[in-house]
Amino acid sequence: MPIISSTTTLGSVSSLNSFLFTSDASSYHTPSSFPSLLNYSNLSRHSHKCKKKFYSLFQTPKVSLSGNPKIEQAASASANANAAATQLLDDSPETRRSADWKTATAYIDSGFIYKGRIEGSNGGGLLVRFYSLVGFLPFSQLSPSHSCKDPSKTIHEIAKGLTGSDISMKVIQADEENKKLIFSEKEAVWSQFSEQVNVGDIFEARVGFVEDYGAFIHLRFPDGLYHLTGLVHVSEVSWDLVQDVRDILSEGDEVRVKVISVDREKTRITLSIKQLEEDPLLETLDKVIPQDVSAVPDSLSNSNISDIEPLPGLETIFEELLREDGVDDVRISRQGFEKRVVSQDLQLWLSNAPPTNQKFTLLARAGRQVQEIHLTTSLDQEGIKRALQRALERVP
């Protein structure tokens, strides 16, 4: 993404030059290609150095005009050009500001990054110089890199330290009528760093702030700075049931996160903490109840399978699973008893082993009782998860 500094204009003055310096009197006209993005503030910035030169170039020749139409025509054209140049160099502040509003709109349309000088701050953000205009960069649109450099500083201390510096940003609103010129540093760093983020990547990160629905996490990049922020939803914080995210995460905590989705159009990154840990639901019966029959003689049993009574509610789930395409058979293979009670409610767990010979394993748990269920299916692991979810949704 190209970066345009505050001393660079989007327009070109080549067509203006051809208008000012053409020597053919018949060609004095305003070309249709006159640049709409000509930055008058840049031109007028140097006007005091070149006015004298322009005036001498366009000085009306001191010759007799009587009886010579060609000389009269040329002199008239020269005078007109002189007046046009003088008008351009002496543009009013209003004209310059209007042109700069158009330039700001062009930055939005192009997506170009603007490098602006921070001139100060107020209670809500930073004041940014944009040619003859002063825009606003809200604190909420600052990159997290500033606060992560020194977490002990307040936002107003950070703002004071940024005064006088140049920051890459994007124009996100240019409303001339309401005099609103808004910038975002976050949008600029997204353009610069988001391509380095992909699903499955693992980042060292820092908790920014916590909400009821999740935590916003700042990602640390190879340069050591925290450029982008993603969301860990409450459901992705832990495999355990989380009532309040604040019980687990606090602002400033160092964490490791996995990228589970990137929406480049909406500039959103979704993260997970729990997916870096083993899913406790992806277990086998042998893991739940170690096969140490000398210690627990009745811990596992695969004899008299027909005598095993399904846990309450399990038969209905079996019926719904058999309605799913790709599921051919569902039956209990064995059962066991734990020393502790995990939950009195019926729970279904998925095996972490992929289907083998069209066989897949589920665990059903309630109280101390655990039953191992074999599915005969042509589905893969993800397909089984979706089929099980649909079946459970149909269970009253």
Residue 233 and residue 270 in contact, taking contact as beta carbons nearer than 8 Å: yes
Residue 89 and residue 47 in contact, taking contact as beta carbons nearer than 8 Å: yes
Lowest mean pLDDT among 44-58, 69-83, 184-198: 44-58
Is it the case that residue 315 has pLDDT exceeding 60?
yes
Confidence at residue 21, expressed as pLDDT on a 0 to 100 scale: 30
E strand intervals along 32-149: 113-121, 125-130, 133-138
pTM attached to this predicted model: 0.54
Q: Give mean pLDDT, residues 277-285.
A: 60
Q: Identify any residues that bridge with 167 across adjacent strands, giving them in sequence order.
A: 116
State how far the Cα of 381 lies from the Cα of 355, in Å rounded to an integer: 7
Is it the case that residue 62 has pLDDT exceeding 90?
no
Sign of CA dihedral 167, 171, 176, 180: negative
State how far the Cα of 251 lies from the Cα of 151, in Å rounded to an integer: 10
Is it the case that residue 384 has pLDDT exceeding 90?
no
Question: How much is the mean pLDDT over the chain?
Answer: 76
Q: Work out the percent of the chain whose per-residue pLDDT is above 90.
A: 46
Which of 243 and 229 is assigned the larger pLDDT? Answer: 229
pLDDT band for position 342 (50/70/90)?
low
Q: Give mean pLDDT, residues 140-165.
A: 92
Residue 291 and residue 300 in contact, taking contact as beta carbons nearer than 8 Å: yes
